Amino acid sequence: MQSQFLSAVSERMFLKRYAKKTVDTYLKYIAQYIRFHNFQHPNILGDVEVESFLTYLVTVKKVSVSTQTVALNALVFLYKDYLGSPLSLDLNFIHSTKQAKLPVVLTPAETTRFFECVPPLHFLQISLLYGSGLRLMECMRLRIKDIDYDFKNIRVFNGKGGKHRVVTMSDKLIQPLITQSKLVKSILDKDKLNAKYAGVYLPHALRQKYPNAAYDLNWHYLFPASRLSVDPESKKLRRHHLDERGIQKTVQKAAQKAHIEKNVTCHTLRHSFATHLLLNGSDIRTVQDQLGHSDLRTTQIYVHVLQRGGNAVVSPFDNIELKTNG
């Protein structure tokens, strides 16, 4: 059960329009920070205690650079936005130097075997992770309006770092996406019969700009949850997007069934998308745009495959010849 203090921090974050996943992550590190200092109230702690906690994460827990950064961001929010006592800009703590892991990439043959073992229930979502290089939560947060059938692309809004981008879409996934959209419409028609249904979640600015959009099919999630739930921000009854944990488990089971010895995760499919684009002749700048990387150096991790140039982006999913996946 969450403490009153953490519940109050959570409420403040929702009021400031933070995503639920961000709220959960920040609360986890704030709770760790409090436990690390023997449950003393953060009001009586400060820069020195924050420094010692961040150093502990590196020297004892051996966390990565990104994990330490997230923990720091959580504490910055706690002190600046909740307690009203900002931390110093010159915190002195040991920074993580743990090297990022090299990406796990499937070969084209392994990719084919993998998809032959993906069950129909989550086949479309997992196909988009590889076929369009989407991050898992980018896929889960897709809305009906984000699919552009005319130009065969997918618009990704507020990806990592709040960036927008346009990614390629496999021809093979057009009909399944149309079928999925029809399913969402049938679910929405039933939800509208419920007097308590308050429409789909929309960020605050969009709520103000499009007051009727919450009931518009185009704004509803492409992959809706199986049941209605209470929105933690507004306390209203809505249908959220599909829980990502089911996709994660399906990916792991499909890799095991395909006898792939590598550690295959949802992000492995994104790594494989990027590498296979390079193998198919796309240049690294094109791959950078598809992945949404701000810095080309981030994309260069995939250049263990020779760069061959190329212009038009064809989804690597089009090259997969599938047998029955029942």
Angle between helices 47-59 and 20-36 (to 10 degrees): 100
Spatial distance between the Cα atoms of 80 and 42, rounded to a whole number of angstroms: 12
Active site residue 160: yes
Answer for the pair 36, 56: CB distance below 8 angstroms, yes or no.
Answer: yes
Q: Tokens at residue 5, please?
A: 């203090």
Sole residue written with tokens 């519940």: 7
Q: Tokens at residue 225, please?
A: 């949850």
Spatial distance between the Cα atoms of 80 and 97, rounded to a whole number of angstroms: 27
Q: Coil, helix or strand for 241?
A: strand
Amino acid letter at 23? V
Q: Coil, helix or strand for 155?
A: strand
Residue in 143, 220, 238, 270 annotated catalytic:
270
Answer for the pair 286, 262: CB distance below 8 angstroms, yes or no.
Answer: no
How many other C-beta atoms lie within 10 A of the C-beta of residue 200?
24
Active site residue 302: yes
Residue in 160, 249, 253, 308 annotated catalytic:
160
Amino acid letter at 120? P
Strand-pair partners of 154: 147, 167
Sign of torsion over alpha carbons 45, 47, 52, 53: positive
Active site residue 245: no
On the CB side of 192, how many CA atoms lie within 13 Å of its CA? Answer: 11
Residue in 135, 238, 239, 241 annotated catalytic:
135
Active site residue 135: yes
Active site residue 141: no
Q: By C-alpha distance, which of 80, 78, 74, 82 is closest to 57?
A: 74
Q: Tokens at residue 183, please?
A: 């399913």
Catalytic residue numbers? Answer: 135, 160, 267, 270, 293, 302
